[in-house]
Amino acid sequence: MTTPLALGVLAGAILSGTSLLYATLGETLVERAGIVNLGLEGVLLIGASTGFAVAAGTGGAWRGLLAAALAGGLANVLFGWLVVTRRANQLASGLAMMFFGFGLSALVGAPYVGSVIVGLPKWRPGWLAALPWVESTTLFNYDLLTWLAIPVALLVWWVLFRTRWGLGVRSVGESPATAYAAGRNPGALQYQALAAGGVLGGLAGAHLSLSLTLTWSEYMTAGRGFIAIALVIFSKWNPLRALAGALLFGGAEALQLQLQARGSEVSPFLLEMSPYLLTLLVLLAWGGARRMAAPAGLGRTFYGSD
Amino acid sequence: MNWKSLLLALSMAAFPALADAPKLVIGAIYVGSVNDYGYNRSFHDALLQVKQNLPGVTLIEAENVPESPAAERILEGMIQQGAKLIFPTSFGHSDPARHVAKRHRDVAFEYAGDGDTEKNFGIYFGSTQAAWYPMGVAAGKMTRTNKLGFVLGMPIGYAVGNVNAFQMGAHSVNPKAQTIVVVTGGWSDKAKEAGATNALLDQGCDVVAMHVDSPATVIQTAEARGAMSIGFQSLEARALAPKGWLTGLGFTWAPFFTDIARSVIAGRFRSAAVYQGLGGMVAMAPFGPSVPPAVQKAVTASADSIAKGFNPFTGPLTDNTGKVQLPSGASMGADQMGTFNWYLQGVVGKVR
């Protein structure tokens, strides 16, 4: 019994889109505070390898998840020290953090390559399993991170747009000088946004190693961090649209694999390119209003009042 | 003689263990980690076996060596530490290894791949294509949905040949069986391997095989969804699928490596191009608990016929677009196994 294409794509999209979503949400928070973190790929890798190492070393996937979240947060705070305190160029520092993440994750994960772990537990409520077609697929059989994906996106939206702290973060992203004049502490707010964004990035990486693949190998994220950065732009720095973006890209990735499995006449090389082509097309079509949507202070360094 | 060399000679006489230099220092570079339950592990396990077979052998290994000029530095370092026999184990280590071999004509190299041999540069590989035929027999007999999944890293000729032999074996015992191929685009993209396996299982495949560097992700994903799996690259992968493991292929380099090491120690190393199939460098893994004795008998018989010289790549062979690729009476030899650019009839997929 074969699964209909749409369900297969949806199932694959949710599985592969979970880590993309968390990464995009983390980067959205950070960019709303006016900082571009090009090193997101490194943060994801640090989260993935730390999570896997702790899970393999202590035998607990939950401990691995916690460790991954902490590691991601610390990595972003380190990046924050570079760009907020030391006022280094954000783009260059981000790329440096990316390479740092490559190396650190490889170092941390090296003793654990090939280890077999029990990953994050998965749940599927009985009434959902009883729906037609669902039983034999991966639909609704998710770990905690996937189940919480939508609530976390809503939470990030609510924090950014409905709390004083979120208002402060957004104001720093628009104009740090104005926020400073209004009595906010831009540096502190940026650090806090970085820490929170880093935790989300660490969780994104952990989902890859602790749930999706149950392994660790170097460069395992295969460019997901950069896709997430593109998705932040695609979603116009809005966490709710990030849901759509993550599903879209995850779906494109799943679609090309499902089409191959159905014997598509399209070359597998072209199919493999399709998710990235789709991202480009979507950015071209919907990226137009970017000028008005991006935080005005994005990427600029705030030198304070002295 | 001066007092220093007298002291050294006395101490060497008093401590024979110190005086024993290793008979042979072997260096090996791997493109990945030796814990991958796959390709790299097979070489590591074989070299450990060589150490057991030949006392006095020291082994220097380097993991995660990139397939770039950076590998030359690592090889030079090993030669500086006294390595006289080097194993570059990944296909992409060819160029760096050949450059270093030119500079050190007194060091023997054995490269896992193809190309020209030099006086100190031999090549070898396990001929896996025919060995996939009994794997197809196992899959064809065990499948209930008649759909077999194959996760492929890159559609190079040797890998496509593996798929074709797999389908041939399955078809020989189950005319309704078809093999569906999904290409991940890389030898080691774990997330795509998980996605590809899920896509194949969504399509109704209940047996999954693969040709990627490490079978671990594919096997674990299949096992989690209750599908059967056939392993590749390392015989140890069966530990990952206690229920679903059917059988698999693994590389057994140890006898060949031991012979080469012996020849280097004796000073009679001769470079050559050596390809061995089932019974030589390629071996079949033990059967899993779910394989009934009748199926085991059929698979073993098929493997024996391959080892005795049965060549499944004998015409007529038609590809999956209907074109006759190998006419009746013709056959393909081991040297043509890298030339496949078509899938056999019964395989669902496109090579390019």
Domains parsed from chain B with CATH numbers:
16-127+253-276 (3.40.50.2300), 132-247+282-348 (3.40.50.2300)
Nearest to A269 among B193, B225, B352 (CB): B352
Residue A252 in any domain: the answer is no
Between CA B299 and CA B302 the distance in angstroms is 5
Matching residue, tokens 């693949």: A213
Question: Residues 22 to 41 of A: which have CB under 8 A from any B CB?
Answer: none
Report chain B residues whose CB lies below 8 A from the CB of A265.
350
Secondary structure (3-state) at B157 = helix
Between CA B288 and CA B44 the distance in angstroms is 24
Query: What is the pLDDT, as a whole number, of residue B13?
Result: 56
Nearest to B202 among A258, A265, A272 (CB): A258
Beta bridge partners of B348: B180
Is A122 exposed, middle or buried, given 0-12, 13-18 or 19+ CB atoms closer than 10 A? middle
Secondary structure (3-state) at A142 = strand
For the stretch A182-228, pLDDT in tens is 999 999 999 999 999 999 999 999 999 999 998 898 889 988 999 99
Residue A154 in any domain: the answer is yes
Strand order in the sheet with B108-112: B57-62, B24-29, B85-88, B108-112, B121-126, B273-276
Task: Give the minimum alpha-carbon distance from B79 to chain A in angstroms, rounded to a whole number.
Answer: 25
Tell if the CB–CB gap between A272 and B350 is shorter than 8 Å: no
Task: Categorize the per-residue pLDDT at A281 as very low, low, confident or very high, splitting at 50, 70 and 90.
Answer: confident
Check: CB of residue B291 under 8 Å from CB of residue B142: yes
Tell if the CB–CB gap between A257 and B193 is shorter than 8 Å: no
Nearest residue to B279 via CA among B297, B300, B259: B300
* DSSP label at residue B240: G
Tell if the CB–CB gap between A222 and B220 is shorter than 8 Å: no
Q: Which domain holds residue A63?
A: 19-114+138-223
Looking at chain B, which residue has its C-alpha nearest residue A260? B182
Nearest to B190 among A1, A213, A257 (CB): A213
Tell if the CB–CB gap between B36 and A212 is shorter than 8 Å: no
Secondary structure (3-state) at B250 = strand
Could you tell me the two tokens for A168? 């402060």
Average pLDDT, chain A: 90
Check: CB of residue A93 under 8 Å from CB of residue A79: yes
* DSSP label at residue A267: -
Secondary structure (3-state) at A177 = helix
- Selected residue of A209, A257, A259, A276 to mutate for chain B interface (largest B Cβ count, 10 A): A257
Residue A176 in any domain: the answer is yes
Is any Cβ of chain B less than 8 angstroms from the Cβ of A15? yes
- Selected residue of B65, B145, B154, B202 to mutate for chain A interface (largest A Cβ count, 10 A): B202
Query: What is the pLDDT, as a whole number, of residue A244?
Result: 92
Q: Provide the number of structural domains found in chain A.
A: 1
Packing angle of the helix pair A5-32, A61-80 (nearest 10 deg): 40
Residue A87 in any domain: the answer is yes
Is B220 exposed, middle or buried, given 0-12, 13-18 or 19+ CB atoms closer than 10 A? buried
For the stretch A97-136, pLDDT in tens is 999 999 999 999 988 888 888 889 998 888 888 887 787 7
Query: What is the pLDDT, as a whole number, of residue B19?
Result: 46
Question: Residues 69 to 98 of A: which have CB under 8 A from any B CB?
Answer: none
Report chain B residues whose CB lies below 8 A from the CB of A218.
64
Give the start-end residues of each E strand in B55-177: 57-62, 85-88, 108-112, 121-126, 147-152
Looking at chain A, which residue has its C-alpha nearest residue B213? A217
Beta bridge partners of B326: B317
Query: Rounded to the nearest 5°, which phi and psi values hold at B238?
Result: -65, -15
Question: Residues 123 to 182 of A: which have CB under 8 A from any B CB?
Answer: 137-138
Report chain B residues whose CB lies below 8 A from the CB of A115.
35
Tell if the CB–CB gap between A261 and B200 is shorter than 8 Å: yes
Query: What is the pLDDT, as a whole number, of residue B123?
Result: 93
Task: Give the minimum alpha-carbon distance from B89 to chain A in angstroms, rounded to a whole number.
Answer: 18
- If one counts every other C-beta atom within 10 angstroms of the C-beta of residue B327, the result is 9
* DSSP label at residue B319: B
Query: What is the pLDDT, as a whole number, of residue A83?
Result: 95
Query: What is the pLDDT, as a whole number, of residue B17?
Result: 47
For the stretch A251-272, pLDDT in tens is 988 999 999 998 888 888 888 8
Task: Give the minimum alpha-carbon distance from B348 to chain A in angstroms, rounded to a whole number.
Answer: 5
Query: What is the pLDDT, as a whole number, of residue B16?
Result: 47
For each of chain B's 352 residues, which pLDDT tens digit applies?
567 666 666 655 555 444 456 789 999 999 888 888 888 999 999 999 999 999 999 999 999 898 899 999 999 999 999 999 999 998 889 999 999 999 999 999 999 988 889 999 999 988 899 999 999 999 999 999 999 999 999 998 889 999 999 999 999 999 999 999 999 988 888 889 999 999 999 999 999 999 998 898 999 999 989 999 999 988 888 888 889 999 999 999 999 999 999 999 999 999 999 988 888 899 999 999 999 999 999 999 999 999 888 899 998 999 999 999 999 989 998 778 888 999 999 999 988 8
Between CA A195 and CA B134 the distance in angstroms is 55
Looking at chain A, which residue has its C-alpha nearest residue B193? A213
Residue A156 in any domain: the answer is yes
* DSSP label at residue B313: -
Beta bridge partners of B275: B125
Residue A155 in any domain: the answer is yes
Residue A239 in any domain: the answer is no
Residue A12 in any domain: the answer is no
Report chain B residues whose CB lies below 8 A from the CB of A11.
198, 202
- Selected residue of B198, B212, B319, B351 to mutate for chain A interface (largest A Cβ count, 10 A): B198
Looking at chain A, which residue has its C-alpha nearest residue B202? A3
Task: Please calculate the CA angle A191-A193-A197 and round it to the nearest 5 degrees.
Answer: 115
Task: Give the minimum alpha-carbon distance from B155 to chain A in angstroms, rounded to a whole number.
Answer: 9
Between CA A146 and CA A14 the distance in angstroms is 8
